[in-house]
Structure 1
Amino acid sequence: MLERVCHADGTFQELERQWTEQCEAYDEDLAAYAAPHLELAKKISEENPQDSKYGIFALKSGGEYSCLMHVNVARLPKTEGKTLRILWILLAPKYDFEDIERELLARLSAEIVLGALGLAAGALGSDQIKVHLGNIGDRQYFTGFCAALVGADVVAEAAIRGNWLHVKQ
């Protein structure tokens, strides 16, 4: 499930606490871990009130924050209706410092996409989602993921276009 994290309700501080502990377990410092993303996330999470068209969201399961992402909703050129975009995704430090199994990566990816579809169908009302793919490995992985989404009748369309995963409900 994707949830908005912000300072006003303490969720961003809880994420920072969890991730600080993970960094310390590897003799790392959270302040140095993915600093540009975390600095932007902190700035946006401190906005009060939170903007209804964008924000910082996290994948949370079993009380643990697995990843953090910047989400926005916009009307884009050559696209009908509103689009929910995940502009970047930052995995929790423990996934960055450990070898993670493909099955875990598949589960996290599926939960992100399904969570984004849930936001698009609900609180952030959108007609489609786009997820920015960070690197060539993401692109190769999500090509197979698209076929699975469509084949399982989870979505109407899913494709890789440029460096984006496009999904239409």
Structure 2
Amino acid sequence: MEHHLIKVLTSDGSWERLAEQWGRQCADYGEDFDGYALDAIPVLRDLAVDDRSDAGVFGLLREDGTFDAVCQANSTHLPGYTGKVLRVRHLLLSPYFDFGEYPIEDYVKVLARMFARTVGLAKSDLRSEHVKFHLRSPADRQFFEATIEVFENATEFDGVAIRGSWLYLTLNQAADVA
């Protein structure tokens, strides 16, 4: 099963497709989509209205059209950084992952693909020299702590650190040229 990252917008109907899918998934577990992820869904819904060049809502889409995850990403200049920083926040996995019982490998696969595709944004649509990835749960932090040695040894990154609930990455700009 392959995934790709798309910008989710109300103007092209992709936000409505995501909300409809996730609404059905919530209903399958006796939950209400209107009460699902109240700290993130309203923020994402508002961002999906604007098609900005430096920010947006991005969904991890399977080949069959199913959204497995969604996040907010924006590229901006921040104090203390040279160059732009891609901030990834409000990362949500679909209600099936929230309410269902799946092997940990499925969760890890979706989280890893979401990570890889959002870092890809920093090298393409939202060009940035750094990435700050907000970790929403202790499980997310545990996953990234377990893989941080791989990131530190990867030629794509000049710097990798976890501080608090954030994963900090500095991209190796020379790796893009090679």
TM-score by length of 1: 0.90
Q: CA deviation at 1:99?
A: 2.4
Structure 1 residues 61-100: aligned runs within 5 Å: 61-62=62-63, 63-100=65-102
Which residue identity lines up with residue 61 of structure 1 in the other structure? R
- The separation in 1 between residues aligned to 2:152 and 2:30, in whole angstroms, is 42
Over aligned residue pairs, what C-alpha RMSD do you find? 1.6
Structure 1 78/152 Cα, relative in aligned 2: closer, same or farther at 3 Å?
closer
Q: Structure 1 pair 111/140, CA: closer, same or farther in 2 (3 Å)?
A: same
Q: What whole-Å deviation, never above 9, does each CA across 1:121-161 have from its counterpart, x for those lacking one? A: 11111112110112333222211122123335453332212
Percentage identity across aligned positions?
Answer: 31
Query: What is the identity, as a one-letter code, of the residue corresponding to 2:153?
Result: G
Q: Which amino acid aligns with 1:72?
A: N
Paired with 2:129 and 2:17, the residues of 1 have a C-alpha distance of 32
Distance, in Å, in 2 between the alignment partners of 1:136 and 1:36 is 17
Q: 1:41 corresponds to which residue?
A: 44
CA distance in 2, matches of 1:113, 1:154: 13
**Aligned length, in residue pairs:** 167
Give the ranges of 4+ consecutive aligned residues of structure 1 lying more than 6 Å apart after TM superposition.
Answer: none
Higher alpha-carbon deviation: 147-156 or 24-33: 147-156
Q: Paired residue for 1:25, among 17, 28, 31?
A: 28
Query: How far has the Cα of 1:111 moved from its partner?
Result: 0.9
Q: 1:9 aligns with which of 3, 8, 12?
A: 12
Q: Which runs of 5+ in 2 are unaligned?
A: 172-178
CA distance in 1, matches of 2:111, 2:158: 18
Deviation at 1:87, TM superposition (A): 1.6
Give me the TM-score of the superposition, normalised by structure 2.
0.86
Confirm or deny: 8 A CA contact 1:22 1:94 kept in the other structure. Answer: yes
Q: Which runs of 5+ in 1 are unaligned?
A: none
Residue deviations 1:67-121 (CA, integer Å, cap 9, x gap): 1111111111211211101122111111110123221222122111211121111
